[in-house]
Amino acid sequence: MQNRREFLKTSAKIASLLALGGLSSQSLLASEKQGVKMEFLTLNNGIQMPILGLGTYALTGASGQKAMSEAIEIGYRLFDSAQMYGNEAELGAAIRASGLKREEFFVETKLLDSPSEDATKKSIEKSLKTLGMDMIDLLLIHSPYPHSKAMYKAMESFYKQGVLKSIGISNFGARAYNDFVQSCEVIPAVNQCETHLLMQQIPLREAMKKHGTLLQSWSPFIAGKGSILDNQTLKNLAAKYNKTPAQIILRFLIEQGIGAIPKTSKKNRLQENINVFDFVLSEQDRKTLIGLDTNKSSFSWTNY
């Protein structure tokens, strides 16, 4: 188990992160009042985004909607959807069925490629209609598509109207990101990319820090590929903190100000994955986990 000295030392470190505005202590307190422990990231436009949410890839149909509803009951408020996942309707329905106010949620979705600014406007309207909502908290371009710059112009226009609360990108590596921001009027709030112990995206994070874009991790468990959860270093840390390997990974990402959207359809894992706000990794343990980084993608289709 972590000793008291280590705990105090790392708590002090987290407190200084909070003071820098990476994580918001105010929101953490507000959220605890409602009986849900959550930490928040402050985006470059001042909007507070839950640092942890549910990835919804493959959560479709009645079973997908049921998993989303269970997640809401457990306390999840951020949901990551995409036009590509075909589940924006299920997400909208799960949120309406909860009886909670729309403002309590942080709804994220991602656009497929569109050939022009006008076509993108229609595509955004389609997502709003499918979700059954009049605003989206965070809209991303799913990948660096050939028409990304024109697509982003449409997003900037909806952002200015307040229909999109925040806008961003996904799967833009450092080179693509540096090129893209040159043409942006509104700097992307978030870049959602593959990020896990073996691919910690350190060069990309450095590039984005200069402009104020935050990283959100997709596939924090490498989508179940390559048995990262069986890694012995991770298992040792899990035993030390009385947590699971999955919880150690999520805590590690969170402590570096990286958002995470693990996906599961299982109720016990939904509980497990959100139960990561009651411990702090020691500096030494964090360094050990940083040491696992290979800066190599585990997916053949990515281009970082």
* Binding residues vs ligand NAP (CB under 6 A): 55-57, 80, 142, 170-171, 192, 218-224, 229, 246, 261-266, 269, 272-273
Structure tokens at 34: 């409602």
Q: Which distant-in-sequence residues (6+ apart) come within 8 Å of 101 by Cβ? A: none
∠ CA 142-143-149 to the nearest 5 degrees? Answer: 100
Closer to ligand NAP by Cβ: residue 275 or 288: 275
Q: With beta carbons less than 8 A apart as the criterion, state whether 248 and 229 touch.
A: no
Residue with smaller CB distance to ligand NAP, 34 or 63:
63
CA dist., res. 116 & res. 114, Å (int):
6
**What angle is formed at CA 286 by the lines to CA 228 and CA 282, rounded to 5 degrees?**
125
Least Å distance, CB 228 to ligand NAP, is 8
The whole-angstrom separation of Cα 213 and Cα 170 is: 11
Rounded Cα distance between 27 and 50, Å, is 9
Burial 41-68, CB ≥16 within 10 A → b, else e: bbbbeeebbbbbbbbbbebeeeebbebb
- Closest approach, Cβ 220 to ligand NAP, in A, equals 5
Question: Distance (Å, rounded) from C-alpha 75 to C-alpha 67?
Answer: 12
Q: If 0-12 CB within 10 Å is exposed, 13-18 middle and 19+ buried, where does residue 230 land?
A: exposed
Minimum CB separation of residue 3 from ligand NAP in Å reads 26
CA dist 275 and 269 (Å) reads: 10
Question: Which CB atom, from 25 or from 271, has the smaller least distance to ligand NAP?
Answer: 271
**What is the number of the residue whose Cβ is closest to ligand NAP?**
55
CB closer to ligand NAP out of 138 and 246: 246
Give the shortest CB-54-to-ligand NAP separation in angstroms. Answer: 8
User: What is the closest distance, in whole angstroms, from the C-beta atom of residue 86 to ligand NAP in the complex?
Assistant: 12
* Cβ proximity to ligand NAP, 124 vs 250, nearer residue: 250
Q: Which of 85, 152, 159, 241 is catalytic?
A: 85
Respond yes or no: is residue 57 known to be catalytic. no
Q: In angstroms, what is the minimal distance from the CB of 222 to ligand NAP?
A: 6
Our CB check for ligand NAP shows the closer of 7 and 299 to be 299
Which residues are tagged catalytic?
Answer: 85
